[in-house]
């Protein structure tokens, strides 16, 4: 079968995260079988995507307006910054409706083996935010992985001379989890981070 529109679309879909060649085929044929309006809606949203969506000049998240709706909201606590790896994490935290401060997107985590050093992350911008605005507390909402731990440690080290409290999200057993099936590292963190009741 020579490379045609269907092949090209399948190969595009299989470049997306979590989509293999089989799923890409299933998706492509689903779109072909569906009302052409679905393909048109996709084409419309995607063709203008990078014109419409920009990075917020303050926090670095994706937004249609600059600054983003979080950074421009005066009801939020601008002295409390939640530091996240990427813009998608903001969405998850916003869905939780727990956090009332503002965000800062690092744009990755320190990973020497993948060639990501502190210079590749938006750390200078974070420091200038701390210097120029009345930031009192940083919450590091970074994944509890080797890269997340390394990045948290690095931030803690370079920010120790600034008058700002730094904390990190609690790591331990997920709600509804079962001690029997929990891995050793998570169990060890749960012990170390135990909470007095």
Least Å distance between CB 119 and its own copies? 19
Pick the binder of its own copies from 14, 86, 186, 190 (CB under 8 A).
86
Q: How far is the CB of 7 from its own copies (least distance, A)?
A: 9
Q: Does 42 bind its own copies (CB under 8 A)?
A: yes
What contacts 94, CB < 8 A, 6 or more positions away? 70
Report the C-alpha gap between 106 and 84 in whole angstroms.
6
CB nearer to its own copies: pick between 43 and 153: 43
Q: Which of 187, 136, 189 lies closest to 162, judged by CA?
A: 136
- Distances in Å between the Cα of 131 and the Cα atoms of 37, 125, 126, 128 are 50, 10, 9, 5
Dist. CA 83–CA 170, nearest whole Å? 14
Assess 27 for contact with its own copies (CB under 8 A): yes
Stretch that binds its own copies, among 44-52, 113-121, 142-150, 175-183 (CB under 8 A): 44-52
How far is Cα 178 from Cα 168, in angstroms, rounded to an integer? 24
Q: Is 67 in the site for its own copies (CB under 8 A)?
A: no
Binding its own copies by CB under 8 A: which of 14, 23, 143, 186?
23
Find the shortest distance in angstroms from Cβ 156 to its own copies: 27
Q: Is 104 in contact with 60 (CB distance < 8 Å)?
A: yes
Strand arrangement of the beta sheet that strand 165-168 belongs to: 101-105, 77-84, 137-141, 165-168
**Which span sits near its own copies by CB under 8 A: 87-95, 129-137, 167-175, 188-196?**
87-95
Residues that bind its own copies (CB under 8 A): 1-2, 4-6, 8-9, 12, 15-19, 23, 25-27, 29-33, 36, 38-50, 52-53, 62, 64, 69, 86-88, 91, 94
């Amino acid at each position: 079968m020579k490379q045609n529109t269907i092949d090209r679309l399948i190969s595009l879909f299989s470049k997306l995260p979590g989509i293999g060649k089989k799923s890409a085929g299933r998706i492509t044929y689903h779109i072909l079988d569906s009302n052409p309006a679905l393909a048109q809606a996709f084409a419309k949203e995607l063709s203008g995507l990078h014109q419409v969506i920009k990075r917020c000049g303050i926090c670095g998240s994706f937004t249609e307006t600059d600054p983003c709706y979080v950074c421009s909201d005066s009801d939020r606590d601008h002295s409390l910054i939640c530091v996240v790896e990427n813009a998608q994490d903001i969405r998850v935290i916003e869905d939780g409706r727990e956090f009332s401060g503002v965000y800062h997107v690092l744009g990755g985590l320190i990973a020497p083996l993948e060639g990501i050093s502190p210079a590749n992350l938006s750390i200078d911008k974070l420091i200038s935010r701390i210097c120029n605005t009345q930031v009192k507390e940083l919450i590091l909402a970074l994944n509890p992985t080797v890269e997340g731990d390394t990045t948290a440690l690095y931030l803690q080290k370079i920010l120790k001379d600034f008058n700002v409290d730094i904390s990190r999200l609690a790591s331990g057993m997920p709600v509804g989890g079962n001690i029997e099936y929990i891995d050793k590292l998570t169990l060890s963190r749960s012990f170390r981070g135990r909470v007095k009741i």
